Every structure is written in C-alpha cells, then in structure tokens.
Structure 1
Amino acid sequence: MIQNLSGWVGYLIFLIISTAVFALFSLGLNLQWGFTGLINFGHVAFMTVGAYTTVLLTLHGVPLIVAALAGAGAAALLGLIIGLSTLRLRQDYLAIVTIGVSELLRLVVNNQDLPTGNGFTPGSFGVQGYPLPLASFDPTLLTRLGMIALLTFVVGVCYWRLGKWVKNRQGNTLPAQKQKQDKKSSLRLVLGILAAGLILVLYLAAAIALYNYTSYANAGLMLISVLVLALVFWRLEVLVRSPWGRVLKAIREDEDVATALGKNVFWYKLQALMLGGAIAGVSGALLAWQLTTIYPDNFQPQITFDAWTMVILGGAGNNVGTLLGAVIYWAYDAITRFALPAIFPLDEARLGAFRIMVIGLILMLLMLWRPQGILGKKEELTLGK
C-alpha cells in the first residue's frame, strides 16, 4: 500500500513539473501571439537556446541561477535577431522564419561538437552529467516545513483566484439575459469544484514529497518549477494590464491605429518577441533539469505545436487560460497513457500517433464550439485577421 502510494506521488510530481514547464513555455507564446498577434511556429528555438546555454555554462562552473538567467538572456537575444530581420515584414514571414530557425538550431546542435567542460562532445551524443538544482540538498525538518509553507501560499493564492472567478458576476442584466447568466454561473461552479479538487490532490502529493524530501529526487525541482511559474504568471498579469500591455493589444487589433496614436509598433513587437523568448528560455532550463540529459531530438517542432494546443485550448490572450490549457493537455496525456492501451490493442508507435490524432479531433470540436478557447474572448481572436 505504502509502496503504491509512493509510486503515485512520484508520478504526480512528474506531472506537476511537466505541467509547470510547459505552462511557462506556453505563457511566452501567449504573450507573443495571444496579446501581440505575432505568429510564431518556431517557439521551441527559444527553449533550445535556454536549455543548452544553461547546461553548458553549469558544466563550466557557472552557478545555476546565473546560468539560467544567461539562458533566458540568450533566448531573448535570439528574439532580437529574429525580430530585427522579420518584424517589419508581413506576419507570414515571421511564421516561416521562426520554424526555419528552430529546425536550423536543432540540426546545428545535432551536428556540432559542444564544449562540455572536459573537452568537446558530439551534440548527437547528448549533454549529461550537468549540475542539478537542490540535487544534494538534505533539508532539516524546519526547512521542509518552510518549503511546504511556500507551496501552501501559492496554492492559497490559486484558491483565492479560483473563488473570484467562480463568483464573478456581471452588473445589472436584462431579464432575457439573466437565465443565460445563471447557466454560466452554474457551469463556473461545477468547473470550480473540479479545479479545487484537482489542486487539492496535487497539493497533497507535493506536500508528501517535500516532507519526505530524500525519498523523491525531483521534489526540489517541483517546488522551483511551481515558484518560477507563479512569479512569471504574476508579473505577466501585471504587465498585460499596464499601459504597455494595452499597447500590445492595440497592435494585435489594428497596427495602423496604434501607429496613428504615435506608438512605435516595431519596438513594441520586438519587446514582446524578446520577452516571450526569454520566458521560453527559462522553461528550457527547467526542462533540462527535469530530463537530466538533453538531446537535440528533445526539441522537435512538435513541442511548439503542443504549446499552440495549450494556448488555443485555454484561450488566447488569457494567461489563466494558458495555465488551464497546460493542465488539460497533461491530464489528457496521463489518462490516455493508461486508458487507451486497455481499449485499443495497438503497439506503442501507433498508440502515440493515435493520441495525437485524438487531441487534434478535440481541437477541431473546440473550434466549432468555442473558437476563442475555454476562457478566451471571441472578440480577441487574432488568428486569421
């Protein structure tokens, strides 16, 4: 019984880290596309740069935090280079250039020798043996309780935001609209209860892992991932509600209007591309620490389209929606990983393709039902404008 519980806690920790990493990655894409209207089909390039910069620097003795910040800076620099060459052109060119750059980077890393500290190693062999955060950390009981308290604070904020969303009501409505509003309130309540239950289960698993810290290798990384995600989400929420964020939305809706109001559209686009790239670079560092060994094939174009799936599912231009999209995506991944083999007797390769096909079907149905995503606003759709 205890062994089974330990296995489930370990798996839930893996899901928490994966969800946090890809939610962070998708937040960068949401800033670029959802808020600014920049179509980026090569977002994984920023993750690649962030991951490799971080691990290669740590192999040369650079502290982990400094290396991760350098990885974010290198990813932002890549955004600067791409932006300077494409943002004055039509958005189609940005989409083409970004997917080309992402594949170019992956192939270069795969075919070049990388400086790994003890000489050069072929990129196709992967990079391994790099330092990991809190790997040899052995916290005291007081420290473990402090870590649980930090996690509890983040979860408490989540419950507070969830409660505000469930209770959110519009002002005075007409009688004809009241019935529709009541249906929305009931749906919010049901979704809120489900979300609260899921958060509670994940919180309990995380608290168990932190309390029994030495029994779970990724407990420290889990806490770091959640805290980084919470910090980035908080600052992004502040930014997109600031005058800077309102300019980005104006550019997304109509560049000519923003230009007529005296805004430097090119400069704002460049800032959004660089900041979104930096966020993806941080997610690359977290992914590298989770994998413990990275190969070029870990950064396939599929990763970018996974992020697009998360943003579209949750709703473009909505940071909470992006987090929801990441949770739904990884919940789907976990459920189908166990359920589908029992229903469809397929080999592993075909089963993987079938799972991708099913999520594509889900997206098609969502586009028919709610093209703006679960939490998105229909008037803020940007794709196809």
Structure 2
Amino acid sequence: MVIYFVFLTISAATYALFSLGLNLQWGVTGLINFGHVAFMAIGAYSTVLLSMQGVPIPIAVLVGAGLSALLGLLIGMSTLRLREDYLGIVTIGVSELVRLVAKNEAWLTKGTFGVQGYPVPFRFNPEYPVRLLLIGWLTAICGLALWRLWLWMRVESSRLISGAIAIIFVLTVYVCGALSLYTYDARAGLMLLSLTVLTVVYIGLERLVNSPWGRILKAIREDEEVPRALGKNVFWYKLQAFTIGGAIAGIAGAFYAWQFTVFPDNFEPLITFNAWIIIMLGGSGNNLGAIIGAIIFWGYYEITRTEFFKVIFRALHLDDTQQGAFRIMIIGLILMLLMVLRPQGILGKKEELTLGK
C-alpha cells in the first residue's frame, strides 16, 4: 500500500509539472496549445537516449528541457501570430508529427519497440545516515507545502474544505514517503526528486506570474491590443511564455520516462487533453490549482480501479475496454457540471478565464 501511494504521488507530481507548463501558456497568457505532449516527448526521448550514452542524468534532463524549449521557440516563431483556433490546430499537428517521427525513425528512437534499459535516478541502496538525510529533505518539502497551504487557507474561509483535503494528502505523502525512504525503495527516491522539482518550478512560476512580466502576460490574455498600445512587444512575450512552458513540459517528460515507459504511442494527444482537464479542474491561471487538479485527476482514476468499482462495473456488464471508456465518460460528465456550476474551476477566478471572452 505504501509503495502504491508512492507511485500515485510520482504520477500526480509528473502530471502537475506537465500541467504547470500548459497553465503558463494558456491560463496565464491565453495561448491555446493542443500539442503540449510534443514537448514531453522531446524531453523524455532526449533524457533517456542521452543517459544511455553515458551522459549524466542531470545534464541529460537539462538538454531535454533545452530541446523542448527550442521546439517551443520554433513553433512560436511561426505560429504565434495566428488566431487562437489556428494556433491550436497547428500545435496538435506538430505533436502528431513528433510522435510519428519517434515511431518511424528507429535508428534514433528504437521505433515502435520503444526505449528500454535506460538509467533511472536514485537506483542505489544508501546507508542509514543518508536515508535520514533524505527523510529530512522530504520533511522540509512537506513542511513548506503545509505552510503554503496554511497561508492560502487564511485568505478565504471558502478554501477550508479544499485546503483540508490538500493537507491530508501532504501528510499522507510524508508518512508513506518517510517509511519508503527509511526501508529504502528506488521509487521513494524518485518521488522525492519529483516533489523537489515540482516545488522549485512552482515557486519560480509564482514569482514570474506575480512579477511585472507576468502581469504583461495576463494583459495579453485579456486584450493584447492594450499592452501593444503601451509599447510592449506582444509577440516576444508570447514567445517567452510558450518557450518556458515547453521547457517545463520537457522536464516532466523525463519523469514520465522514469515512471512509465518510452514508447511513441505513450505520447498521444490524449496526454495533452488530460492536462487540459487538470487545469480546468484546478482553475485556469492558478498554479496551485494545477497541482491540486493533478491530485484529483489521479485520485479519481486510481479510486475507480479499486475492487469496489470493479464490482459495480461487472454489475453493469462492462468488460475491461468498456470500463476505461466508462471512466472517461464519468469525468466528462463531471467537467460538464463543473463548467455549468463553476466554470473557473475549483480554485480559479472568473477573471482568469481565457475562453468564451
């Protein structure tokens, strides 16, 4: 059970990191990107292929993030002057192009067989003093998260319920993570690394979004003619947001590779739309909402795989394929209700919405 929760935490952290990149592009800047998974694919393939050639894993991750940022730069330079709907069409086309290249260029990406046998970080058996240091590291991260949640809950009383759920999740992560680190399991080390990177990216994005640079991005989202009239280079700011969001998705791609597998069909457009679901659940333009949305998303999928729901699915005479489709139908209904009752998402604000203006 402890290792299972560690797996769930890594998955949620990976999708939260991936969604933070999309949130910067869409939630903050208003750029519709239906091909965000392309950046994840570039980051995943670059990281594992370079690490298999002996490149240190941190450098491989940075190179993967750099290549993802370069892809964002190339896409942005040629498409960001398009209208929102045309931009969305181009980006989903680019993501499919990247997937098909990965599927057919076997000399580089191993083709449909995927990449296997690559190094994964924290695959060692540390001594007990090192394990205690890792537990202290986890304590600092979880303590920072609890402090941030406490400050956030004090702003509005309506946040008490969602904040309490988040606090329970953080405490569960800490208990399960500490137990796994003490007995030491490689996944516990990967969980610690994913939470660390997620924390750093979240803090960095919060500073950027609340800086003058971030306020210009929000102004572009609302009406780009206003910042342009004030002498701001709107295209350059859009390009920056698109590139940074791509780099963050590239880093998420490395964790995706370490957590799951690297096959071309693992980077289908559905991954991008999962990130859209996460942002709509948590709230457009809200970085904390993207993290909580990822927790809810993965919690929903894992809960519906429990024996209790399997009994319900059997009573409905659903086979395994139909069960997967039924889960998607249910989350679709939840999103429909959310769009009617609270279109800004759980933590979002109506003024942060970028669609239907």
Cα pair distance change 1:264/1:125, threshold 3 Å: same
Show the counterpart of 1:316.
284
CA deviation profile, 1:109-155 (whole Å, cap 9, x unmatched): 1111234xxxxx741111011111121x2212111111111111111
Show the counterpart of 1:205.
176
Larger Rg: 1
Give the alignment of 1:222-233 within 5 angstroms. Answer: 222-233=191-202
Show the counterpart of 1:69.
62
The residue identity in structure 1 corresponding to 2:274 is D
Show the counterpart of 2:226.
257
For 2:159 and 2:297, the matched residues in 1 are separated by: 20
For 1:64 and 1:167, the matched residues in 2 are separated by: 40
For 2:163 and 2:276, the matched residues in 1 are separated by: 24
For 1:349 and 1:70, the matched residues in 2 are separated by: 38
1:101 aligns with 2:89: no
Give the alignment of 1:218-367 within 5 angstroms. Answer: 218-291=187-260, 293-338=261-306, 339-345=308-314, 346-367=318-339
Q: C-alpha displacement at 1:193, in angstroms?
A: 2.6
For 1:299 and 1:192, the matched residues in 2 are separated by: 32
TM-score normalised to structure 1 length: 0.90
| Bigger Cα displacement from structure 2, 189-198 vs 141-150 | 189-198
For 1:286 and 1:190, the matched residues in 2 are separated by: 30
Q: 1:130 aligns with which of 101, 118, 135?
A: 118
Q: Which runs of 4+ in 1 moved over 4 A?
A: none
CA deviation profile, 1:283-308 (whole Å, cap 9, x unmatched): 001111112x4110111111000000
The residue identity in structure 2 corresponding to 1:331 is G
The residue identity in structure 2 corresponding to 1:290 is Q
Give the alignment of 1:76-87 within 5 angstroms. Answer: 76-87=69-80
Give the alignment of 1:30-179 within 5 angstroms. Answer: 30-115=23-108, 122-135=110-123, 137-169=124-156
Q: C-alpha displacement at 1:359, in angstroms?
A: 0.3
SS at match of 2:64: helix
Show the counterpart of 1:4.
none
For 1:12 and 1:217, the matched residues in 2 are separated by: 14
Show the counterpart of 2:354.
382
RMSD (Å) for aligned C-alpha atoms: 1.1
The residue identity in structure 1 corresponding to 2:322 is R
User: Identical aligned pairs, as a percentage?
Assistant: 63
CA deviation profile, 1:195-225 (whole Å, cap 9, x unmatched): 2222211210011011111xx2311111110
For 1:275 and 1:125, the matched residues in 2 are separated by: 31
Show the counterpart of 1:176.
none
For 1:360 and 1:40, the matched residues in 2 are separated by: 20
For 1:281 and 1:41, the matched residues in 2 are separated by: 16
CA deviation profile, 1:27-57 (whole Å, cap 9, x unmatched): 0000000000000001000000000011111
Q: 2:15 aligns with which of 1, 10, 22?
A: 22
SS at match of 1:371: coil
TM-score normalised to structure 2 length: 0.97
Give structure 2 stretches of 5+ with no counterpart. Answer: none
For 2:253 and 2:142, the matched residues in 1 are separated by: 24
